[in-house]
Structure 1
């Protein structure tokens, strides 16, 4: 009976360690934040009207999605670029083009990297919204 208990305990311990490892391995792969757009904004060719949205970055897929009520309104390829310091707040990086704000990237509060739209790692300049 003692051998059975030891084997059962060891099996449970191994399962617990694998579960923790799997959970920790997924951490940071996806980030979601609620934002309020005060103006309409263009995201990868899609017009997103002003309002409350969820911004979701999937690092594994390399995509940034804009969702409203669980439905994807816009999506764009995105990548990470290193910051010199941790961001204090979540903010959107935009540029004005043809009298309409174009989304260039997202900074998530507490991150030391920026999410930049596009697949290259070329530098991007713009204003904070």
Structure 2
């Protein structure tokens, strides 16, 4: 399975190039390249990420669908706001004002939530922290 989400400590197998077929451990990643310490060799080598294949049961094949769902979860409300504004106003006239008003109302709603339901606010912040952590995985 190809994986473009390799992290330090992941085990990989090279395909193509002089290290083809060799197993190694990811040491670092940067700009589409991965630094790998191959078995039986001294030192590390930079390899194009596309030339590596994740091995072992620890590969994170579920992370891409989760990230796609989170992006939809975060993007759809914004798209809905734009579509409703375009539908009701027939254009982008007053869009900045409407967006500013909506952001102000959201800030007031957060203040109301924190004062009336602090546990719910903490749970919501915890959920947002989890989403942030998953997006950077």
Shorter-chain TM range is: under 0.3
Q: TM-score, normalised by structure 2?
A: 0.25
Give the number of the structure whose residues are more often helix, by fraction.
2
Query: Which structure's residues are more often strand, by fraction?
Result: 1
How high is the TM-score relative to the length of structure 1?
0.27
The structure number with the bigger radius of gyration is: 2
